[in-house]
Structures are given as C-alpha cells and as structure tokens.
Amino acid sequence: MPSYNHLEIEPKWQKEWETNKAGEAVESDADAVYHLIMFPYPSGAGLHVGHVESYTAMDILSRKARMQGKNVLFPIGYDAFGLPAENYAVKTGVHPADTTKKTMETFRRQMKAVGLSFDWSREIATCDPAYYRWTQWLFLLFYKNDLAYRAKAPVNWCDGCNTVLANEQVVDGACERCKTTVVQKDLEQWFFRITKYADRLLAGIDAVDWPERIKSMQRHWIGRSDGVEVEFRGLRAEMTGEKGTERVHEAEFSIPVFTTRVDTLFGVSYIVLAPEHPLVDVLTTEENRDAVVAYRDQARKKSELERTQLEKDKSGVFIGTYAKHPLTGEDIPIWISDYVLVNYGTGAVMGVPAHDERDFIFAQKYAQGVNEVVAPPAGMEHDFAAEAYTDDGILVNSGEFDGMTSTEAKNAIATAIESAGKGKRVVNYHLRDWLVSRQRYWGAPIPIVWCEACGAQPVEPKDLPVLLPRDVDFMPTGRSPLVDSVSFHDVSCPKCGAGARRESDTMDTFVDSSWYYLRYTDPHNDDVLAEPERIRRWCPVDLYLGGAEHAVLHLLYSRFFAYALHDLGYVDFEEPFLKLRNQGLILGPDGEKMSKSLGNVVNPDEVIEQYGADTIRLYEMFMGPLEDAKPWDTSGIVGIRRFLDKVWMTRERVGDAKDAELTCLVQKTIKKISDDIEALKFNTAISQLMICANALHEREVVPRGAYETFVTLLAPFAPHLAEEIWHDLGHAESAFAQSWPEYDAELAKDALVAIAVQVNGRLRATIELSPDLPEKDVRDRALATENVEKFTDGKEIAKVIFIQGRLINIVVK
C-alpha cells in the first residue's frame, strides 16, 4: 500500500512541536504581526468543521509568516461564560464550571489534533477569575467615566432565558438564542453608553479593511439620520383647585416631532403620538379618554413582532386636542397610533399623507387631508389620489418656500424654524445604549454593591475579582442562583461599612469578548489588564478571521471598547481589527446547514482518524473560496489524500537530475503559492501544489532541489507530512526552520509558450514560440499556419493586434 501512516506521524510531530514551543510568539517588536481567530464558545458538541476551516486558514498564514522571519502572535482561548452551560446545570445538576472545563479540554485536544500552531502558552478562558477580574475592572473604569450607568428603560425580556437582552440579541422580535418571543418590560438595568460613540463608530467604518457586507450592516445598525425636531404647540384645558371648586385654565403644551423631511412641513394634516407617549394622558380630552385608553391597552398587548409585521394595517384614535402648525398657525389634530415607535426620535411624528406612504395609508383610513406640497420634477406625472409621492421635488403650497427644491427647502425651513425658536436641527440614531446586565449565574458578576444609605457603590479595584460563588443551587425556577446565595450577596458597603447587598446581575458575555484580544498580549499579568508596552507591540490586530454572525454584536461592541479605551488613554488605536475576513459556512453533504436534527454533521475527529489531519486541512482549504458557503463532499476528501500519498511516494525517487522545465514550474509555484496565501486564496494555491506535484511525480528521477522546495511550499498546508518528508530526506532541523523560498522571475521564464492565433477574434490555431519573439516574426509564423491561411486567403488584412507572449489577432475584411 503506497500510503503514509497518518496515525503514526501526526501525533509524533504534534508532540515534537509542543515540546519545542513551536507556536509561541516572542516579545519583540521586530516584524510583529497579530493573527487572530474568533475564539470559540466551547460547546458540548465539540469542534465543528467550520472552526477547522478558519483556524487552518490562519494557521497556514501564520506558519508561512514565521518562515518569512516574522514574529507572529497567533493565540487561542475560550469564550467560556454563557447560557448553555447554565441551562445544562438546571437540567442535570452538573455545575457549569465542570461542564465548561470538560468541553474546553475536548476543544483543546481536537485543535491540537488538527496540528494548529497556536501559542498555547497564552491560552485564556473568560470564566477564569484571573480573566474576569479585568472584565470587572473595565466595568468599573467605564462606571467612573460615565460610560456605564443604571437606568430604568423599556427593555427586551426573554421568558425562555429569564433575562433581559440587548437590542442586538433580538432577531425578528425573538431571542437570538432560544427563539422565544421577546416582550417589553420597564426595568432598571445596567447600560454601556455606546451611543456616545455613534458618530465615530460610523466614521471609523470607512477606514477599515472589512467585507462590505459587514460594514454596511454596521452603518445600518448605527442608523444615523439627520433631520429637524419641530415643535407643535397648543393650549389645553387644565383643572386646578380643590374638588368641588376646580377652575379650568388654559395651559400651553409642546410636542416635538422628528422629521427628515422638513421640506414637507406645509403638508402636515395631523400629528401622531406613540401610544406610550407621556403627553397622551395629559392631552386626551374627557370625551375621548375611553377610546384612547382602550386603544393603548390593546397596543400594549401586541408584541413588537405584531406591531412591526402588520405593516400595511394602520390604526389609531383621535385624542381630542389640537396643536398649532409652527409656521401657518393652522390647527392640527393630534392622534395616537402604534405605527409610531416611542423609543425612536421623539416618539411623535407629523403626518404628511401626500409624501409618506405610511401617512397616506393612515390618512385614507381616517379621512385626513392629502396636501400636496412637493411637486414631482417637470415631465413626471404623479397621481396623488393613488399613492404618496416620496421623492424630492419642487415645493408648492408652501408660502415663501414655493419654487425651492427639496434640498434647498430642507435647509431654508430648518433655518426658519430655528430662528422662530420652534425647533432645531438634530441627528438621530437607531443605535441604543448597550444593555449589559443579565439575570443569570454563569457570567462575570457586576462589581457593584447596593447600600441603603449610599446607593450603588463600586467595588474597590483591590477587591477584584468579585468571585462567582461555586456553591449555589441551580433550581429550575429561572431565577439566577446568585439572588439566593447569602454568602454572595451579604456584604458591607465599601463606603460607609454598613450592611449592604451585592449586585446579583452578571455581565453579558459579549462584554467578556469585547477585549480578549488585548489580554492575549499579556495573559498572565496580575497587576494590569496588559502592559501598555505589549498592547502597543501587538495591537491593533492585523488580520481577524471568523464568522459573519457577529456583524453587529461582537464586532461593534469591540470597536466601542477600543474607542473608549483610546479616549481613556489605555490604547493608542481606535479600530481594533484592521482587516477582517469571514469564512463561509460549511454545509452538510446535502447542501443544508449542518445540524444535529438533520443528522448531517461531519465530525472532524472521524475525518482525522480515517484520513489524517493534513487531509482535513487541505480538503477544507480546497473546497472553494474561504468566504463562500460550500457543501461537504466526502468523495472530495479521497482526492486530497491521493494527492498527499503521491507526494509521499515521490520522495522515493529523489536523486540528482537537471530539469529546466521543472525548475521553471517550481518557480511559478513559489510565486503563485506566496501570492495566493496572502490573498487567502487557499483553493487555488492547493491547485498549483497539485500541478507541481503531478509534474514531480512524472519524473523518473526527481531533482532533489525541486522536490525540497516543493515540500517547503507544502509545509504550511500539510505540516505533519512535510515535516516527516523533510526529516526523511536527511534534515535534522524542522521543515519550519527553512526560510520561505524566494521567487526568481528569470528562472520562471518559459522557453516556449503557446500563442493563440485568432482571425477576426476567433481562435484558429495555437503555435509554440519563444515568448520574446517580436511581432513581425509571430505574424509571419501565424499567417503561414495552415488553418489560418484558410481564413485569411484572398482577404485584405485590416489590422493586427498583438499581445506579447499571449496572442495575435488578425483582422481581415
């Protein structure tokens, strides 16, 4: 059997590399590069083939970089806090710390079996007190700098997970993790003031080398919109005095509405408040109160999902009060409707049926006037009775602003509003502050103590970490065990010393992962989060590889952390990840997403057992472009193993031989592999390795130099086999002690190339010629070719296009 024994050689070299600390980074500035993969959540399912894909890609990059003399930081750790381990504890009673320890061991074993050259000396786990002490320290830093605060707000509550969630963790109105429909609750919670950075986070996106998809998702999520807050004022009846002797007064009120289309201000026919708007109670007249209360109760019962998905159906109630138009003084009726969201803008909008689709639908239902104030440009027809005209145009029916374009009018009306003191230009964001507290156990405790007398008191940094108590009860009540742990929450106030209660909420696990890349630079430091010198040395991250599912979660939060730490003087950069790439999903052999229930999950352990680590590495890199989704194909693996066996067998025929053609091919291979690895085009790199291997294999005697160069090029991809062959060839040192081959353009030059000969752009022949042959000679040779003569004979040559070394095109009439 002409095959190598992967079961023997792979563990052998893995052990050797471990002993030699082959992947460890050196603390030196020279040629320092930081390669980061998104650290895994150590799930019970073990390592997924998707992990293998991105880790292998980065391993190839890192191994090559080291061979080029670079000092590479390629660390690994575990995003180890989180809900699944806690839910498992509720179900089985096994402590999350034990579950997590076990799953981390499994991940570690599996990653080592893939032959990944991580710097294992820097391994971290977010659930380690030595780690989360700094997560807590960061919380305190933010707290002291007004970036962490507690507030009562309408928040997302998941009944399945029994905790609040950040906006980013609500997908289609449901919990991202357990799919339970999220309900709104008014609760006091901890927030990070990410909105303070909205503008800079938006601007910073332009500067980073990230996939356009992710960048546009972040821009969209931050959602900046520039507009005007316009005040609609009015008078309402107010009762004062003792019961029985009340008197009615006229009191002034003001409703600010936010609009991006202030050019349509003269088209307002009504105002709509969100049902939850605080002014609703105040402004509703007695005769309308019953209807308003009924509507509001009904709206409250609707989930966010229902309110946002029944887009076409608009409903509302008139509340009985009118406000004055700020420029015309006209009376404008005030309505409530659940198509207006309380937590965006001012929670109130102006209804302009002629120029807004939603307002148009609403106006039709409730017989509000459609006032055309923006006319379509000349030559364009629009039927205002049929639908709203939402594009820009020329102003009409707008007093002194008539004749202006929408753009001019936006500016002019905004100025008029401002100088009349009836509003101001404002910027609104979709981005909300980040809700970070969770009513769960398995996370980093929020380092705050509640004192009757002093209120919320931060824990002293010297008292960190606030340890998660191990000895707690996991009850299926849904309540965090921390709430009932007396030893945990009975403390004294850090300020006055009186009896106090520890905050029992923990932090969102996304807080843990927002700064882990900093810790890798100095993972064992007990005095500081990381030495500034080391952060400066390695950060920001040069290349970051991971899944696209974190587009607005981890990647946005981490950017916020970096900006905040920059402003507080802890880091000298703003953007943490200069270049980002996403690996595509690996689908099951059936083309579906791998899942337990479909039974199409491929276990890397089994592939490694049967074919070897080098085979799974090569196979996953060869499947297709890194960023594409691609189905697993078991028969494709066989082809990779055949290729590796071929390389192995070729070694037996190595000897002394001169072979100019092979030299040329090897040079081209050096060029192609080097370029392709940098461009993350591993599939085409491997294709070139195959072409080269096939050529080597064909030779009776394989020139030693060519073969050794080939093995060096193969090494980052198939490190075990390359190392085995390298030693088998008589070398004492590691294959990775080699420097990366240098490309020599002179040697790569072909003696002969196939020139395409076209007549009128159609291929009629190919001729073998020296690539340097001048046009005249190529032309003569081409015209003398039999099949070309056939198409040119008796015709006039109008033109000849010549591309040196590639083609000649004869244009005839």
**Binding to RNA by residue 749, rule CB under 7 A?**
no
Q: How big is the site for RNA, counted in residues (CB under 7 A)?
A: 88
Q: Which stretch binds RNA (CB under 7 A): 180-188, 323-331, 333-341, 372-380?
A: 333-341
Q: Which of residues 337-356 bind RNA (CB under 7 A)?
A: 338-341, 344-345, 347, 349-350, 356
**Binding to RNA by residue 118, rule CB under 7 A?**
no
Q: How far is the CB of 223 from RNA (least distance, A)?
A: 5
Q: What are phi and psi of 140, to 5 degrees?
A: -65, -40
Encode 31-46: b = buried (16+ Cβ within 10 Å), e = exposed.
ebbbbbbbbbbbeeeb
Q: What are phi and psi of 210, to 5 degrees?
A: -125, 160
Which residue lies nearer to RNA by CB, 375 or 754? 754
Binding mask 147-176 for RNA (x = CB under 7 A): ------------------------xx----
**Binding to RNA by residue 260, rule CB under 7 A?**
yes
| Contact of 91 with 474, CB cutoff 8 Å | no
**Binding to RNA by residue 630, rule CB under 7 A?**
yes
Q: Which stretch binds RNA (CB under 7 A): 34-42, 220-228, 655-663, 772-780?
A: 220-228
The one-letter code for the residue type at 130 is A
**Binding to RNA by residue 770, rule CB under 7 A?**
no
Which residue lies nearer to RNA by CB, 94 or 638? 638
Among 227, 326, 458, 540, binds RNA (CB under 7 A): 227
**Binding to RNA by residue 763, rule CB under 7 A?**
yes
Q: Which stretch binds RNA (CB under 7 A): 45-53, 111-119, 328-336, 623-631?
A: 623-631
- The C-alpha atoms of residue 619 and residue 56 are separated, in whole angstroms, by 11
**Binding to RNA by residue 636, rule CB under 7 A?**
yes
Which residue lies nearer to RNA by CB, 732 or 745? 745
Q: Which of residues 542-561 bind RNA (CB under 7 A)?
A: 548, 551-552
Q: Which stretch binds RNA (CB under 7 A): 190-198, 244-252, 630-638, 661-669?
A: 630-638
Which residue lies nearer to RNA by CB, 235 or 587? 587
Q: How far is the CB of 696 from RNA (least distance, A)?
A: 11
Which residue lies nearer to RNA by CB, 499 or 636? 636
Residue 196 annotated as binding site = no
| Contact of 62 with 124, CB cutoff 8 Å | no
| Measured distance between the N- and C-terminal CA atoms of the chain, rounded to whole angstroms | 63
**Binding to RNA by residue 308, rule CB under 7 A?**
yes
Q: How far is the CB of 305 from RNA (least distance, A)?
A: 9
Which residue lies nearer to RNA by CB, 361 or 722? 361
- The C-alpha atoms of residue 650 and residue 60 are separated, in whole angstroms, by 23
Count of alpha carbons within 13 angstroms of residue 560, beta-carbon side: 27
> What is the DSSP pairing of strand 490-492 with strand 499-502?
antiparallel
Structure tokens at 116: 């990944």
Count CB neighbours of 16 within 10 A: 14
Among 64, 261, 438, 534, binds RNA (CB under 7 A): 261
Which residue lies nearer to RNA by CB, 171 or 528? 171
Which residue lies nearer to RNA by CB, 90 or 754? 754
Q: Which of residues 444-463 bind RNA (CB under 7 A)?
A: none
Q: Per-residue DSSP letters for 138-180?
A: HHHHHHHTTSEEEEEEEEEEETTTTEEE-GGGEETTEETTT-P
Nearby residues of 15 by Cβ (< 8 Å), 6 or more positions away: none
User: Minimal CA–CA distance to 264: which of 444, 107, 413?
Assistant: 413
Q: How far is the CB of 615 from RNA (least distance, A)?
A: 12
- The C-alpha atoms of residue 88 and residue 331 are separated, in whole angstroms, by 61
**Binding to RNA by residue 303, rule CB under 7 A?**
no
Among 376, 631, 705, 771, binds RNA (CB under 7 A): 631
Q: How far is the CB of 714 from RNA (least distance, A)?
A: 13
Which residue lies nearer to RNA by CB, 201 or 623? 623
Which residue lies nearer to RNA by CB, 291 or 753? 753
Q: Which of residues 482-541 bind RNA (CB under 7 A)?
A: none
| Contact of 74 with 118, CB cutoff 8 Å | yes
Which residue lies nearer to RNA by CB, 90 or 342? 342
Q: How far is the CB of 807 from RNA (least distance, A)?
A: 5
**Binding to RNA by residue 589, rule CB under 7 A?**
no
Q: Which stretch binds RNA (CB under 7 A): 92-100, 109-117, 202-210, 252-260?
A: 252-260
Structure tokens at 54: 């991105």
Q: How far is the CB of 591 from RNA (least distance, A)?
A: 8
Q: How far is the CB of 639 from RNA (least distance, A)?
A: 3
Q: Which of residues 380-419 bind RNA (CB under 7 A)?
A: none
Which residue lies nearer to RNA by CB, 416 or 571? 416
Among 18, 186, 590, 633, binds RNA (CB under 7 A): 633
Structure tokens at 650: 């070729």
- The C-alpha atoms of residue 35 and residue 581 are separated, in whole angstroms, by 12
Nearby residues of 169 by Cβ (< 8 Å), 6 or more positions away: 156, 175, 176, 177, 553
Which residue lies nearer to RNA by CB, 523 or 584? 584
Encode 705-736: b = buried (16+ Cβ within 10 Å), e = exposed.
bbbbbbbbbbbbbbbbbbbbbbbeeeeeebbb
- The C-alpha atoms of residue 374 and residue 352 are separated, in whole angstroms, by 11
**Binding to RNA by residue 245, rule CB under 7 A?**
no
How far is CA 244 from its chain centroid?
64
- The C-alpha atoms of residue 132 and residue 143 are separated, in whole angstroms, by 16
DSSP state of 393: -
- The C-alpha atoms of residue 174 and residue 356 are separated, in whole angstroms, by 29
**Binding to RNA by residue 799, rule CB under 7 A?**
yes
**Binding to RNA by residue 762, rule CB under 7 A?**
yes
**Binding to RNA by residue 91, rule CB under 7 A?**
no
**Binding to RNA by residue 121, rule CB under 7 A?**
no
674's enclosing H/E stretch is helix 660-678
**Binding to RNA by residue 365, rule CB under 7 A?**
no
**Binding to RNA by residue 217, rule CB under 7 A?**
yes
Q: Which of residues 681-720 bind RNA (CB under 7 A)?
A: 681, 683-684, 686-687, 690-691, 694, 697-698
**Binding to RNA by residue 179, rule CB under 7 A?**
no
Which residue lies nearer to RNA by CB, 547 or 705? 547
| Contact of 801 with 759, CB cutoff 8 Å | no
Encode 371-409: b = buried (16+ Cβ within 10 Å), e = exposed.
bbbbbeeeeeebebeeebbeebbbbeebeebeebebeeb
User: Minimal CA–CA distance to 689: which of 733, 657, 722?
Assistant: 722
Q: How far is the CB of 587 from RNA (least distance, A)?
A: 9
Annotated binding-site ranges for ATP: 596
